[in-house]
């Protein structure tokens, strides 16, 4: 079967879909999955239908990596990355804690978050985003 699809591609038939658009489709499917379904690549490709079947494996893999990073960035309250594995977020107590943050650190983080009027997740998200932006500016500065 793989040889057949290779012949079809060599003949010039392709779905003509960029990795960016495929990533956007995967992102949309991830947001529509019910909470009881684990967000895995196989399930998402099944939900893509013919688009998922016709796409090349390398395109799907690249789009999956891009979409899972994007969904974690934009919907941190619903998803998080556990290493390379995409998982659904649940209560803060159920999430894996950073090994270096003590219980007192968590209390201080929660207190600071309530003082700022946000959740601890949102506060950490802003902190990480600010650090990444500062890191990019620092790397982009001209050397003397």
Using CB atoms within 10 Å of the CB of residue 25, give its burial: 0 to 12 exposed, 13 to 18 middle, 19+ buried: buried
pTM value? 0.57
Q: Where are the domains of the chain?
A: 1-91, 97-144
- At residue 48, the 3 state secondary structure works out as helix
Answer for the pair 62, 68: CB distance below 8 angstroms, yes or no. no
- At residue 81, the 3 state secondary structure works out as strand
Cα 41 → chain centroid: 12
State the pLDDT at residue 95. Answer: 52
Mean pLDDT of the chain: 82
State the pLDDT at residue 41. Answer: 92
State the pLDDT at residue 93. Answer: 46
State the pLDDT at residue 118. Answer: 87
HSE value, Cβ hemisphere, 13 Å, CA-based, for 70: 17
State the pLDDT at residue 67. Answer: 95
Q: Which one, of 49, 54, 52, lies nearest residue 15 by Cα?
A: 54
Regions of the chain with pLDDT less than 70: 1-3, 5-6, 9, 12-15, 90-100, 140-144
Answer for the pair 71, 81: CB distance below 8 angstroms, yes or no. no
């Amino acid at each position: 079967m793989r040889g057949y699809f290779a012949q079809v591609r060599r003949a010039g038939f392709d779905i003509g879909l960029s990795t960016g658009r495929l990533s956007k489709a995967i992102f949309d499917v991830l947001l529509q999955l019910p909470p009881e379904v684990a967000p895995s690549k196989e399930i998402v490709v099944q939900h893509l239908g013919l688009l998922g079947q016709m796409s090349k494996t390398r395109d799907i893999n690249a789009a999956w990596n891009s979409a899972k990073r994007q969904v974690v960035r934009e919907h941190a309250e619903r998803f998080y990355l556990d290493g390379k594995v995409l998982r659904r977020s649940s209560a803060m107590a159920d999430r894996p804690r950073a090994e270096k943050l003590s219980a007192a650190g968590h209390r201080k983080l929660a207190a600071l978050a309530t003082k700022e009027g946000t959740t601890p997740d949102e506060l950490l998200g802003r902190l990480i985003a600010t650090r990444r932006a500062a890191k990019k500016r620092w790397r982009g500065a001209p050397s003397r």
